[in-house]
């Protein structure tokens, strides 16, 4: 039988009730005091329970920290492991608690780790790390890291870091950092940083920083800083890059180096060369000018600090023989405080009236310009400089080039080629 021990205040109250006797009033007073004491006991028990619970949590937390600091898992070493399928092997039911120097999986097998070589007819599954050589007919899956050469007919997945060479017929995936070479028929994916070369038939993806070269048939992606080169058949993407991006479409945040493609897009870029280069923080200008070929021309220039694209249109009134043309070009900008020099090459399609689109004929004009500019105001500059132009026409209307001057012309087979020097003067706005 358990004995309830009352707190001192409750004991004093009970003694006082005994002295007053067994009157009704004393009984009621004693009952109220007992109720109060029982409530106090419940509060103290609840507080004690909370203290004990907190202590238990601390013990569990300390235990988990001790386990975390215990270091890597320890495996039982067996020099050779042979498996037909997981569970049917020389390691019995403790297959993932064993490490070996040589592991042979006739169909497939699972083991703790390998330091040496592992061969699988279909697959290899390793809980820990592998150092050395690993090959499987279909796939490799590792929970830890890998150092050495890994080959798979279809795919390999590594949960830790990778140092060495990884080859797969379809896809390679590494969750950690990668140092070495990664090659896949379709896709390579690295979740961490990458140093080395990534080569894939379709896509390469690096989640963190990249140092080296990415080469793919379709797309390359570097999630953070790229130091090196990206070469893709279609598109390259990098958060930032120092080096080169070469593809049909190149996309970057801050770019320091070369972007070479049909379309280049960047927040900042040093040398974007392409049909269209859009630089968010780059210059944008509107130019109007006249030359010996046309008195009215207008164009827009945009790009980086040193390289720009220009899109232009022009018109020369000559009654029924009026001429309109449109062109694109690429140029370089040399800033010199209040002055600058622009050197660009323009290519035009020329349309002559009254037969604007002659059947089977075309007129093309290319002009090399070297113009000096004086920045009169922040939004206004005066430009002027020499030009050299070449006109190519494959029909009779191109025999008389409509310019102010006497060009040198000669027929080369079915093409009439005319060459002449010229001059341009104009204004640059914005």
Q: Same structural domain for residues 28 and 140?
A: no
Is 272 within the bounds of a domain?
A: yes
The answer as to whether 1 is a domain residue is no
Q: Is residue 2 part of a domain?
A: no
Shared domain for 33 and 135, answered yes or no, is: no
Same domain, 277 and 289: no
Same domain, 359 and 380: yes
Q: For residue 246, is it within any domain?
A: yes
pLDDT, averaged in runs of 10, over the chain (430 residues): 49 49 50 57 59 46 38 80 90 84 95 96 95 97 96 96 97 96 97 96 94 97 94 96 96 94 95 94 95 91 95 85 87 94 93 69 87 95 95 65 67 83 94
Residue 110 lies in a domain: yes
Q: Are residues 306 and 415 in the same domain?
A: yes
Domain range spanning residue 394? 284-429
Contact 295, 316 (CB under 8 A): yes
**Residue 62: predicted pLDDT:** 41
Residues 394 and 321 grouped into a single domain: yes
The domain boundary, picked from 176, 197, 224, lies at: 176
399: in domain: yes
- This prediction has a pTM of 0.74
Could you tell me if 198 and 182 are in contact, meaning their C-beta atoms sit under 8 angstroms apart?
yes
Evaluate whether 387 touches 403 at the Cβ level (below 8 Å): no
Cβ atoms within 10 A of the Cβ of 27, count?
Answer: 13
394 occurs within a structural domain: yes
103 lies in the same domain as 234: no
Domain boundary among 142, 176, 210: 176
265 within some domain: yes
Tell me how crowded residue 194 is: count the other CB atoms within 10 A of its CB.
30
Q: Which residues contact 1 (CB under 8 A, 6 or more apart)?
A: none
The answer to whether 276 and 262 have CB atoms below 8 angstroms apart is yes
Neighbours of 64 (CB within 10 A): 10
Structural contact between residues 296 and 290, judged by C-beta atoms closer than 8 angstroms: yes
The answer to whether residues 127 and 41 belong to one domain is: no
**Is 388 in the same domain as 295?**
yes
User: Are residues 316 and 407 located together in one domain of the fold?
Assistant: yes
Number of Cβ atoms within 10 Å of the Cβ of 374: 13
How many helices (H) and strands (E) are present in the chain, helices listed first? Answer: 2, 33
Among the candidates 176, 199, 226, a domain finishes at: 176
Residues in the chain: 430
Question: CATH number of the domain that 327 lies in?
Answer: 2.40.160.20
Burial code of 152-173, b = ≥16 C-beta within 10 A, e = fewer?
bbbbbbbbbbbebebbbbbbbb
Report the domain count for the chain.
4
Q: Report cis status (omega within 30 of 0) of the bond before 354.
A: yes
Q: Are residues 164 and 220 in the same domain?
A: no
Residues 419 and 325 in one domain: yes
């Amino acid at each position: 039988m358990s004995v309830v021990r009352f707190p001192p205040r409750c004991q004093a109250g009970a003694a006082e009730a005994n002295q007053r006797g067994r009157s009704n009033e004393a009984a009621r007073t004693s009952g109220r005091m007992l109720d109060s004491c029982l409530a106090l006991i419940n509060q103290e028990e609840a507080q004690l329970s909370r203290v004990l619970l907190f202590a238990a949590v601390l013990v569990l937390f300390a235990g988990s920290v001790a386990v975390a600091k215990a270091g890597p898992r320890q495996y039982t070493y067996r020099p050779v492991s042979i498996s037909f399928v997981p569970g049917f092997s020389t390691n019995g039911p403790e297959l993932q608690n064993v490490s070996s120097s040589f592991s042979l999986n006739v169909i497939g097998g699972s083991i703790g780790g390998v330091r040496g070589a592992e061969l699988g007819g279909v697959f290899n599954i390793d809980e820990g790390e592998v150092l050395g050589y690993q090959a499987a007919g279909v796939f490799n899956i590792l929970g830890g890291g890998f150092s050495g050469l890994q080959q798979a007919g279809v795919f390999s997945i590594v949960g830790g870091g990778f140092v060495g060479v990884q080859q797969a017929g379809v896809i390679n995936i590494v969750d950690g950092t990668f140092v070495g070479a990664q090659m896949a028929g379709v896709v390579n994916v690295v979740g961490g940083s990458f140093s080395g070369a990534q080569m894939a038939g379709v896509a390469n993806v690096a989640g963190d920083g990249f140092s080296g070269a990415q080469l793919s048939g379709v797309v390359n992606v570097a999630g953070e800083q790229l130091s090196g080169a990206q070469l893709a058949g279609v598109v390259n993407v990098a958060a930032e890059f120092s080096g080169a991006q070469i593809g049909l479409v190149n996309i970057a945040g801050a770019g320091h180096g070369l972007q070479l493609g049909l379309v280049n897009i960047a927040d900042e870029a040093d040398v974007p060369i392409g049909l269209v280069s859009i630089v968010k923080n780059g210059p944008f200008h509107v130019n109007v000018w006249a030359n010996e070929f046309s008195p009215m021309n207008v164009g827009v220039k945009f790009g980086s600090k040193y390289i720009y694209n220009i899109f232009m249109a022009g018109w020369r009134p000559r009654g029924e023989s009026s001429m309109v043309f449109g062109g694109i070009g690429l140029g370089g900008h040399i800033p010199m405080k209040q002055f600058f020099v622009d050197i660009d090459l323009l290519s035009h399609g020329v349309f002559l009236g009254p037969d604007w689109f002659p059947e089977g004929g075309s007129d093309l004009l290319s002009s090399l310009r070297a113009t000096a500019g004086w920045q009169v105001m922040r939004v206004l500059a005066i430009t002027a400089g020499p030009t050299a132009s070449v006109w190519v026409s494959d029909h009779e209307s191109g025999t008389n080039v409509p310019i102010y001057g006497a060009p040198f012309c000669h027929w080369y087979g079915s093409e009439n080629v005319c060459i002449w020097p010229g001059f341009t003067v104009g204004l640059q706005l914005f």
